[in-house]
Amino acid sequence: MNVLITGGAGFLGRRLARALVDRGVLTGASGRDERIDRIVLLDVVAAEGLESSMLTPRAGDIADPHVLDLVIDADTTAIFHLAAVVSGGAEADFDLGMRVNFDATRQLLEVCRQRGHRPRIVFTSSVAVFGGDLPDLVQETTALTPQSSYGAEKAMAELLLADYTRKGFVDGRALRLPTVSVRPGRPNAALSSFASSIIREPLNGEPAVCPVDRGARVWILSPDRAVQCLIRGHELPSETLGIFRSVNLPGLSVTVGEMVAALERLAGPEVVRLIRWEPDARVQRIVASWPGAFETSRAEALGFRGDADIESVIRAHMATQAKS
Amino acid sequence: MNVLITGGAGFLGRRLARALVDRGVLTGASGRDERIDRIVLLDVVAAEGLESSMLTPRAGDIADPHVLDLVIDADTTAIFHLAAVVSGGAEADFDLGMRVNFDATRQLLEVCRQRGHRPRIVFTSSVAVFGGDLPDLVQETTALTPQSSYGAEKAMAELLLADYTRKGFVDGRALRLPTVSVRPGRPNAALSSFASSIIREPLNGEPAVCPVDRGARVWILSPDRAVQCLIRGHELPSETLGIFRSVNLPGLSVTVGEMVAALERLAGPEVVRLIRWEPDARVQRIVASWPGAFETSRAEALGFRGDADIESVIRAHMATQAKS
């Protein structure tokens, strides 16, 4: 089988690609392990410095149907659709967000429909599809009331994926990812970027700005667990999801204060002093509209696993950094 | 003010237009009654035989931005967006359904955004946005899990309308209409068409086919009440809806058997004998996926009113037919 990863030059796409190379196989529609022949990493810029000849970088605009047509062939039976404009970017540039987060997803679905080979598509949605006045524990049966354009685009894409699946055009699965933390690299335009910055930068001896107060609650998943969930999302037999193709992935519900306290226990008070607290009303309001805890028993029954505690999340990040 | 009604040549659009001509005014963003200068009825074919010089028929493709650009000017502060491909049509022709039910709605929103005059837009959504394994009483906070392309397209359009409203581009309101019954005229491709046929055709001395059994439950609203709800939907002050722009309109929860029993009481057994019972598994399955009852206390608090009972619905239809 060929695998396509959109957003394949991003940190999660590359980490997923590495995990797939290590496995060498993926369970597909046959119900058996199938050998992975090729993994295409599509992104706006071609991924560089790849570790395996199995990995094929491609540069192109995901919203361009001709680009998608070139990277999806009849053997591309596994698609991981990670490409997105993050929340802050989609809020600042409405047209760009619609184009990448919604139109490109539609193009992807449409190219697969035209191809007629009914691939499995794992789509990374987000807990930002929820918002506003929510129950303390968000269910999968809770209505989607996004309070950001990013969330609205992801919610529309989920509906489209479900209908393309119902019609038999594709076999779609939407995974609502918690905030992935601790991300490596640099801060990005995601409004949740602080949830990595406040751990990552101080550990690098650099200052970090926290735009929300200590009481702000976030719902996080470590990069390693996120990759495992993406693979699990692909390998699930289609019928186990039934008509409801979206899954609230398990996460860890922690306050920013608890994250910083864990960091202090693991790395000491001088590290924590590198965090500057500068609450930003706009960010604080949007983050507060994201729910802090979810009912995830369905995801757990389906074999998705979250992290044990915040200390293990930080420790895993420290171990990865020490290796690289 | 100028009013635009898309789907304006359809029965509901024309009935709404007539009600607006009779009123002569509509409460807009100012909070006061504003005089209606012109009502544009846009549809694929121009509406004919109009009763008032205030009514301006326009023929055009609603999915064509140039058409929308011509019918929306800075004075078009009231838009009733009724144009749609009905459920059966959207299920049979996926591309047509997406084009009319979703893309055209997006074009409409986009033309308004470009115009910058922030009109009120009343969008007719549908209870078909719900589906699958639902609670006995559907809430507005129940997740949208449509089991038809029509429902998926309406659900996506609701999300888009809400985000355009949140961004301040338009002032949108989505009304989830129950099945409108009894519709005048001929059967159409809506899967719910039988809910009018089984009353209308026998009263005309014609046979009707019922594709679901007597136990099938429908959620209905009479045409007159539907028109009143559309006007109410427009006149509501924006802030009364808050961030949740979609409203489950009040309806009447009746079984097909109860409808036919009421028809028999009002018109006699010989009329009811004109109904041929021919259950169709496909229609029955989709109709069964539509919920039969909704929590509508919010709609009622907002001033929306449904029908008292099934006999009054049938009597209103008989009175209208006697007049015409």
- Concatenate the DSSP letters of all residues of B190-255 into one string: -TTTHHHHHHHHHHTT--EEE-S-TT-EEEEE-HHHHHHHHHHHHHS-GGGTTT--EEE---EEEE
Beta strands in chain B (DSSP E): 2-6, 25-27, 33-35, 38-43, 55-59, 76-81, 120-126, 171-177, 179-180, 208-210, 217-221, 246-248, 252-255, 275-277
Q: Give the C-alpha separation, B42 to B82, whole Å.
A: 10
Structure tokens belonging to residue B97: 């359904």
Residues for chain A: how many in total?
324
Whole-angstrom CA distances from B142 to A134, A260, B129 are: 12, 36, 10
Q: What is the three-class DSSP state of B122?
A: strand
Query: How would you list the strands of the sheet with B252-255, edge to edge?
Result: B179-180, B217-221, B252-255
> Looking at the DSSP assignment, which residues form a beta bridge with residue B176?
B125, B248
Is residue A88 predicted with pLDDT exceeding 70?
Answer: yes
Q: Give the C-alpha separation, A26 to A232, whole Å.
A: 10
Helices (H), B72-141: 87-92, 94-97, 104-115
Is residue A15 predicted with pLDDT exceeding 80?
Answer: yes
- For residues A128-153, give the mean pLDDT: 91
Structure tokens belonging to residue B162: 């809400």
pLDDT in the model for residue B317: 95
- For residues A43-52, give the mean pLDDT: 91
Does residue B159 belong to the interface with chain A, where contact is any CB pair within 8 Å?
yes
Residues for chain B: how many in total?
324
Amino acid at B65: P
Is position B150 annotated as part of the catalytic site? Answer: yes
- For residue range A238-259, list pLDDT tens digits in order: 999 999 999 999 999 999 999 9
pLDDT in the model for residue B51: 83
From the list B202, B188, B215, the residue with the least C-alpha distance to B86 is B188
Do A167 and B132 count as a contact with CB atoms less than 8 A apart? Answer: no
Catalytic residue, chosen from B123, B150, B194, B290, is: B150
- For residues A60-69, give the mean pLDDT: 93
Do B160 and A156 count as a contact with CB atoms less than 8 A apart? Answer: yes
Name which of B132, B149, B243 is nearest A163 (Cβ-Cβ). B149
Beta strands in A44-198 (DSSP E): 55-59, 76-81, 120-126, 171-177, 179-180
Confidence of residue A65 (pLDDT cuts 50, 70, 90): confident
Name which of B132, B143, B160 is nearest A143 (Cβ-Cβ). B143
Find the residue in A nearest to B139 (Cα). Answer: A143
Is residue A106 predicted with pLDDT exceeding 90?
Answer: yes
pLDDT in the model for residue A101: 98
For residues A131 and A87, the answer to whether their CB atoms sit within 8 Å is no
Q: Which residues 137-156 of A are in CB contact (within 8 Å) with B?
A: 139-147, 149, 152, 155-156
Is residue A224 predicted with pLDDT exceeding 80?
Answer: yes
Consecutive H or E run containing B321? helix B310-323
List, in order of start, the domains of chain A with CATH numbers.
2-177+222-250+295-301 (3.40.50.720), 194-216+253-293+307-323 (3.90.25.10)
Q: How far is CA A29 from the centre of its chain?
A: 23
> Looking at the DSSP assignment, which residues form a beta bridge with residue A59?
A43
Q: Provide Rg for chain B, Cα atoms.
A: 19
Name which of B143, B152, B167 is nearest A144 (Cβ-Cβ). B143
Kindly report the nearest CA distance between residue A274 and chain B, in angstroms: 36
pLDDT in the model for residue A87: 85
Structure tokens belonging to residue B55: 């009514």
Catalytic residue, chosen from A80, A123, A130, A150, is: A150
pLDDT in the model for residue A324: 65
pLDDT in the model for residue A51: 83
Per-residue pLDDT of chain B (324 residues; tens, 9 = 90+): 999 999 999 999 999 999 999 999 999 999 999 999 999 999 999 998 888 999 999 999 998 989 999 999 999 999 999 999 988 899 999 999 999 999 999 999 999 999 999 999 999 999 889 988 888 889 988 999 999 999 999 999 999 999 999 999 999 999 999 999 999 988 888 888 999 999 999 999 999 999 999 999 999 999 999 999 999 999 999 999 999 999 999 999 999 999 999 999 999 999 999 999 999 998 898 888 778 789 999 999 999 999 999 999 999 999 988 876
Find the residue in A nearest to B158 (Cα). Answer: A156
Is residue A132 predicted with pLDDT exceeding 90?
Answer: no
Whole-angstrom CA distances from A230 to A15, A127, A180 are: 11, 15, 13
pLDDT in the model for residue A261: 97
Confidence of residue A108 (pLDDT cuts 50, 70, 90): very high
- For residues A210-223, give the mean pLDDT: 95
Q: Which residues of chain B does A146 touch, with a Cβ-Cβ cutoff of 8 Å?
A: 159, 162-163
Model's pTM, two decimal places? 0.95
Q: Give the C-alpha separation, A120 to A155, whole Å.
A: 19
Kindly report the nearest CA distance between residue A38 and chain B, in angstroms: 32
Q: Which residues of chain B does A248 touch, with a Cβ-Cβ cutoff of 8 Å?
A: none
